[in-house]
């Protein structure tokens, strides 16, 4: 019997309303003293993750890779990179995680491979080999320029000329990350077979990188220019709408094939990363019903700065596209500046309290439970090609990828003193280390644990429906959402104004018509809201969850 046939959890929809914890393997824990995190290091620290009360871990890429983009350039889809260990190390991690009650989700990068993958080596050899059409090749324009105007995420055209074939190949990211041609049925099947390999090993699901980039427009139509308001300084691809290299209709049919495969392994799940110019409707379409992805996320909240009106706009727009779509909301991950820096260091708990109030599944990024901020790095310390290519306008993603801090030593317990970590440990992080916070009953870590347990034991929060409260009757800077399930109602409020702004006063019956009264749930680290008659008062930075009667 394989691991996949003996899954412990008989509740196949465990993922619905679950909390995931993202681990960036290079930066979590170094077990072999080479300055790079690894699978054995993750296994040794899983008790910390389990103590948070989360349901699953998501591992960023662990597959064999030249590491031009830190694992998002795959050269072998069925093995572990020696940097992280072996398949036996992965099996040990799976066994330990499952023993602790944690599901394991792993990153899968299907849309593109490394240029050192054997598939691409064969494809580029000539135009007549068995894999000649496994990647996206196109002839130059008559003047020798690329086939169209598509831009790469890291700068420059999304096309590189190959002298062997005298053609251009497509790469939506680095030139060393050629895009696979999913219009070819053999490519589709090959990637499904790779997914089955990991399911047979016992993984509980996949996070799909760039899940709406699998297919491209066959006609290679030029992308239209973006409006001025969409453009961001230093981001080259923001100058055009990604109309023809993302969100193609064929993508939906392929996601249905992936879901059919996952359905062969009851209890397995999927979460898709949705980028592009207008991701919210795509996110909804990709998760509607029970035939495509289980969950998906966009960068709309990952780019948020804690403004009430902006949160309402994102959530209300997503709600326009159907009640059966299922989001996986996150405020931080390996691609964006940490939320404690964007929302404010003193609002880390407030941010997570807001996140826990939302309908959907949640994802926390390693260190978010400690309140880690974005690290400031010198140019000479950078590893991320995004930052190296676009510095100084864009500093890249290394600031959110620095090592986890387990203690207050020079290397934060990530690796021994005397070993140089792959990215420097950020000195301001060391006082926030796990061992120091674990000793304090009122530390952020302790409060986050209590917050996640509170959400995890509430069916209203995990499974309930959601009604957004229109900003019109609310004071400025107040965000409100009502959750309801089987006759139970919970009103979640947060005053997102900065310290020094005015307290917010609200009448409960104006927010929830027909409400007779309420009982305040004790929120970790939050004072109970002040009540005067039927008026509720919230101070800046304060949140409240009210059980409505």
Give every CB contact of residue 359 below 8 A, 6+ residues apart in sequence: 327, 464, 465, 466, 481, 483
Model pLDDT, residue 323: 79
Decide the pairing of beta strands 167-170 and 159-162.
antiparallel
Q: What is the pLDDT of residue 10?
A: 54
- Among candidates 128, 130, 133, 120, which has minimal Cα distance to 178? 120
Q: Is 467 in a helix, a strand, or coil? A: strand
Omega before 218 within 30 of 0, i.e. cis: no
Alpha helices in 264-320 (DSSP H): 279-287, 308-319
Encoding tokens for residue 295? Answer: 């969950």
Which residue do the tokens 């799909």 mark? Answer: 208
Query: Are the CB atoms for 530 and 542 separated by under 8 Å?
Result: no
Q: Provide CATH 2.60.40.1180 ranges for the chain.
A: 463-548
Let me know if 402 is exposed, middle or buried by CB neighbors in 10 A (0-12, 13-18, 19+). buried
Region label for 507, one of left (φ > 0), alpha (ψ between -120 and 50) or beta (otherwise): beta
- Are the C-beta atoms of residues 267 and 294 closer than 8 Å to each other? no
Q: For 126-132, which contacts have Cβ atoms below 8 Å and span 24 or more sequence positions?
A: 126/164, 126/165, 127/165, 127/167
Where does residue 36 fall: left (phi above 0), alpha (psi -120 to 50 degrees), or beta otherwise? Answer: beta
| 67 close to 83: Cβ distance less than 8 angstroms | yes
Report domain 3-111+185-215+246-396+431-454's class: alpha beta
CB atoms within 10 A of CB 97: 22
Rounded to 5°, the CA angle 271-273-274 comes to 125
Q: How many CA atoms lie within 13 A of 47 on its CB side?
A: 5
CATH 2.60.40.1180 fits 463-548, yes or no: yes
Can you tell me the distance from the alpha carbon of 364 to that of 455, in angstroms, rounded to the nearest whole number? 14
The C-alpha atoms of residue 72 and residue 131 are separated, in whole angstroms, by 21
pLDDT at 4: 38
Quote the CA–CA distance of 257 and 262 in Å, as a whole number. 9
452 CB-near residues (< 8 Å, 6+ apart): 19, 52, 53, 54, 356
The confidence score (pLDDT) of residue 3 equals 40
Residue 252 and residue 189: Cα distance in Å, rounded? 15
**Angle at the Cα of 59 (from 56 to 62), degrees rounded to 5?**
150
**pLDDT attached to residue 513:** 85
Q: Residue 252: which H helix or E strand, with range?
A: helix 250-263
| Chain centroid to CA 126 | 38
Alpha-carbon distance of 39 to 311, in angstroms, equals 36
Local structure of 437: helix, strand or coil: helix
Listed in order, the ranges of the chain carrying CATH 3.20.20.80 are: 3-111+185-215+246-396+431-454
Rg (CA), the chain: 24
- Residues labelled as active-site residues: 209, 273
447: enclosing H helix or E strand = helix 444-456
Smallest CA-to-CA distance from 363 within 179, 103, 92, 41 is with: 103
CA pseudo-torsion sign 460, 463, 464, 466: positive
* Contact between residue 204 and residue 7 where contact means Cβ atoms under 8 Å apart: yes
d(CA 259, CA 291): 6
Euclidean distance between CA atoms 99 and 302, whole angstroms: 31
3-class DSSP string for 498-520 = CCCCCCEEEEHHHHCCCCCCEEE
Q: How far apart are CA 547 and CA 488, in angstroms?
A: 8
Global confidence as pTM? 0.96
Q: Are 201 and 103 in contact (CB under 8 A)?
A: no
Task: Extract the tokens encoding 346.
Answer: 């003193």
Angstrom CA distances, 208 to 205, 254, 295, stand at: 10, 13, 10
HSE-up of residue 424 (Cα within 13 Å, Cβ side): 12
CB 269 within 8 A of CB 240: no
Tens digit of pLDDT at every position of the chain (549 positions): 334 333 445 578 999 999 999 999 999 999 999 999 999 999 999 999 999 999 999 999 999 999 999 999 999 999 999 999 999 999 999 999 999 999 999 999 999 999 999 999 999 999 999 999 999 999 999 999 999 999 999 989 999 999 999 999 999 999 999 999 999 999 999 999 999 999 999 999 999 999 999 999 999 999 999 998 888 877 788 899 999 999 999 999 999 999 999 999 999 999 999 998 899 999 999 999 999 999 999 999 999 999 999 999 999 999 998 778 999 999 999 999 999 999 999 999 999 999 999 999 999 999 999 999 999 999 999 999 999 998 998 899 999 999 999 999 999 999 999 999 999 999 999 999 999 999 999 999 999 999 999 999 999 999 999 999 999 889 999 999 999 999 899 999 999 998 888 899 998 888 888 888 889 999 999 999 988 877 899 999 999 999 998
Residue 263: how many CA atoms within 13 Å on its side-chain side?
Answer: 11
Order of strands across the sheet that contains 478-485 = 465-468, 478-485, 488-495, 543-548, 518-521
Q: Which residues pair with 492 in a beta bridge?
A: 481, 545
């Amino acid at each position: 019997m394989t691991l996949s046939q003996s899954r412990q959890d008989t509740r196949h929809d465990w993922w619905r309303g679950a909390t995931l914890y993202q681990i960036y393997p290079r930066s979590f824990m170094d077990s072999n003293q080479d300055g790079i995190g690894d699978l054995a290091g993750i296994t040794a620290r899983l008790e910390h993750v389990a103590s948070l009360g989360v349901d699953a871990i998501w591992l960023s890429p662990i597959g064999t890779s030249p590491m031009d983009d830190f694992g998002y350039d795959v050269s072998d889809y069925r093995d572990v990179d020696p940097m992280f260990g072996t398949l036996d190390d992965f099996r040990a991690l799976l066994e330990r995680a499952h023993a602790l009650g944690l599901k394991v989700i792993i990153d899968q990068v299907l849309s593109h491979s490394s240029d050192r993958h054997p598939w691409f080596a064969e494809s580029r050899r000539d135009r007549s080999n068995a894999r000649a059409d496994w990647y996206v090749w196109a002839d130059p324009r008559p003047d020798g320029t690329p086939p169209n105007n598509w831009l790469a995420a890291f700068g420059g055209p999304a096309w590189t000329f190959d002298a062997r074939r005298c053609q251009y190949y497509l790469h939506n990211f680095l030139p060393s990350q050629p895009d696979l041609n999913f219009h070819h049925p053999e490519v589709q099947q090959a990637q499904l077979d790779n997914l089955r390999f990991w399911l047979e090993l016992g993984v509980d699901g996949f996070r799909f990188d760039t899940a709406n980039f699998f297919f491209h427009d066959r006609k290679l139509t030029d992308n239209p220019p973006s409006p001025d308001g969409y453009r961001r300084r230093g981001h080259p691809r923001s100058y055009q709408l990604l109309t023809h290299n993302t969100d193609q209709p064929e993508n939906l049919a392929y996601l249905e094939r992936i879901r059919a495969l996952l359905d062969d392994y009851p209890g397995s799940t999927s979460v898709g990363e949705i980028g592009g110019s207008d991701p919210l409707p795509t996110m909804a379409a990709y998760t509607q019903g029970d035939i495509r992805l289980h969950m998906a996320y966009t960068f709309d909240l990952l780019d948020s700065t804690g403004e009430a009106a902006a949160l309402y706009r994102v959530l209300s727009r997503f709600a326009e596209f159907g009640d059966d779509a299922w989001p996986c909301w996150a405020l931080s991950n390996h691609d964006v500046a940490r939320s404690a820096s964007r929302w404010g260091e003193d609002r880390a708990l407030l941010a997570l309290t807001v996140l826990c109030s939302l309908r959907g599944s949640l994802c926390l990024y390693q260190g978010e439970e400690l309140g880690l901020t974005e690290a400031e790095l010198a140019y000479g310390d950078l590893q991320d090609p995004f930052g190296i290519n676009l510095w100084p306008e864009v500093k890249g993603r290394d600031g959110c990828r620095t090592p986890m801090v387990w203690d207050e030593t020079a290397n934060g317990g990530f690796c021994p003193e005397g070993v140089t970590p792959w990215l420097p440990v950020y000195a301001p992080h060391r006082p926030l280390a796990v061992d120091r916070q674990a000793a304090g009953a009122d530390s952020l870590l302790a409060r986050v644990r209590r917050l996640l347990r509170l959400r995890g034991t509430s069916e209203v929060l995990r499974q309930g429906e959601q009604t957004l409260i229109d900003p019109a009757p609310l004071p400025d800077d107040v965000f409100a959402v009502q959750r309801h399930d089987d006759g139970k109602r919970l009103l979640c409020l947060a005053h997102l104004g900065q310290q020094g702004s005015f307290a917010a006063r609200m009448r409960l019956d104006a927010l929830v018509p027909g409400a007779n009264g309420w009982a305040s749930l004790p929120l970790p680290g939050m004072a109970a809201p002040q009540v005067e008659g039927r008026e509720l008062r919230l101070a800046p930075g304060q949140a409240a969850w009210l059980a409505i009667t």
